[in-house]
Structure 1
């Protein structure tokens, strides 16, 4: 069993994979954020575009998402705080020079017609 990239301690197939494959919708903002981290780790740019709110998609071209996903080696996700519509997290990764980095973000999400979307994030 390979553990999920999102650090949930569940298997990938029982955690984020069903959301990324479109078999299920993430039930919460935190579940969506975790699945988006896993999508970065597995280079699933289509999922990242699809789960970005329509009002924000022009700011996040698929090519840029894929470049960010593939040029970094994703190490670990740490969820610091979660509310029904926000998630604060730290994503640990190695950049293209293999230098450890931490992406600390306070993200906002919205649910429309039962589907959660990433709206934006404030870097900390």
Structure 2
């Protein structure tokens, strides 16, 4: 799926109170569509929106939500990689401007090999917006 197309169901897997999958436009899509006016309200929402941005290959959003102190100059995607799902294990706000989110993201590469990214990510809140800083992989 390219950055220009959008799925009906949000790739991040968030559900409503009845365990129904949220639409992309009601979930991460609103952050992708209006970066300046609609910042993610917390670190978990930002992490989920970043996962969805990886699925949709939305490099501008990923770079904009990376803290400037750690932001890479460019971002390349693995062509043909297929993201299989996201599971948020824990979300902890450490103080007013720091939070951590532990998650597992699964993907399959072009050879069919499945991999898991298990990470505890660190986020910082600055100027009214959350940013991804870095993370420790397990």
**Same fold judged by TM-score > 0.5?**
yes
Question: Rg: which structure is higher?
Answer: 2
CA distance in 1 between counterparts of 2:100 and 2:26 reads 23
**Aligned partner of 1:78 among 83, 87, 99:** 87
Structure 1 gap ranges (5+): none
| 2:9 alignment partner in structure 1 | 3
Offset, 1:26: 0.1
The equivalences for 1:29-40 within 5 A come to 29-40=43-54
Alignment match, 1:112: 126
Please give the TM-score of this superposition, normalised by the length of structure 2: 0.81
Divergent runs of 4+, >4 A: none
* CA shift for structure 1 position 71: 4.4
One of 78, 84, 105 as aligned partner of 1:91: 105
Q: Which runs of 5+ in 2 are unaligned?
A: 1-6, 15-20, 94-98
Task: Using the TM superposition, give the Cα deviation of residue 67 of structure 1 relative to its aligned residue in structure 2, in angstroms.
Answer: 2.1
CA RMSD of aligned residues (A): 1.4
CA distance in 2, matches of 1:100, 1:44: 22
Establish whether residue 19 from structure 1 lines up as the match of residue 31 from structure 2. Answer: yes
d(CA) in 1 for partners of 2:120 and 2:132? Answer: 11
| Higher percent of residues as helix | 1
Deviates more, 1:17-26 or 1:6-15: 17-26
Distance 1:29 1:18 in 2: 16
- Bigger drift between 33-42 and 15-24 goes to 15-24
Q: Secondary structure at the match of 1:25?
A: coil
Between 82-91 and 92-101, report the one with greater CA deviation: 92-101
| TM-score normalised by length of structure 1 | 0.90
Q: How many residue pairs get matched?
A: 119
Give SS of 2:54's match. Answer: helix
